[in-house]
Amino acid sequence: MVENLTLRVQTDAGGSGGRPDRGELSRRVFIFGAAAAASGAVFFGLRRSTVKPALPMPGGRGKRVITVTRFASDGEPVGQTTGPRIVHTDEEWRRRLSPDAYRVLRLADTEPPFSGALLHENRRGVFRCAGCELDVFSSVTKFDSRTGWPSFWEAIAEENINELPDGTLMEVRTAVSCRVCDSHLGHVFTDGPKPTGLRYCINSLALKFLAA
């Protein structure tokens, strides 16, 4: 049995010059590719599983008193105010918001691209949180990102927003929410224009526009 096995190996090797045939190469490439894909899926799955979705913070967590900057309709600051966070029950939010706005603001959903009423809003003014009317973005920093969502290269004031890791998709993103009522606004990416290089990709449903 050993002799037969030896002869068979020698014959196969001699017939192909010691190289695997194309079928064998294809099989190896397929196995390697499948293994790499599976490893990548496991890696990103584990990475995602370590980062929780950036849902609105429950009322009993986080700072109870916060300081934010208020702005006039022309985008000029009018001063800072300090007060408690706005906290409503889920039932209250459902009563205050439309079903679509509720899904975006309170469940961190995303509106379909090119569907928002404020996508092409180019007048001078400020964009406020639809949940509590805190000023969050200015028309001065709005630009056309051609992504289908209102985009800004800077928030109106750092202290008016929260930025948190968001693990709802394969790639971990940075979610943006309102500092006062903790409503979800959208996400921020690092592929924006100068001078910041940032792109705040915000849902129209999460905003209210106040013209100057």
- The catalytic residue positions are 201
In this structure, the chain runs to a length of 212
Q: Could you give the CA distance from residue 47 to residue 170 in angstroms, rounded to a whole number? A: 8
Beta strands (DSSP E) in 20-102 are: 65-71, 77-84
What are the backbone dihedrals phi and psi of residue 122, each rounded to the nearest 5 degrees, phi first?
-120, 10
Q: Could you give the CA distance from residue 115 to residue 147 in angstroms, rounded to a whole number? A: 11
Q: Could you give the CA distance from residue 200 to residue 154 in angstroms, rounded to a whole number? A: 7
CA-nearest of 173, 172, 174, 170 to 40 is 170
Instruction: Give the 3-state secondary structure of residue 33.
Output: helix
Amino acid at 12: D
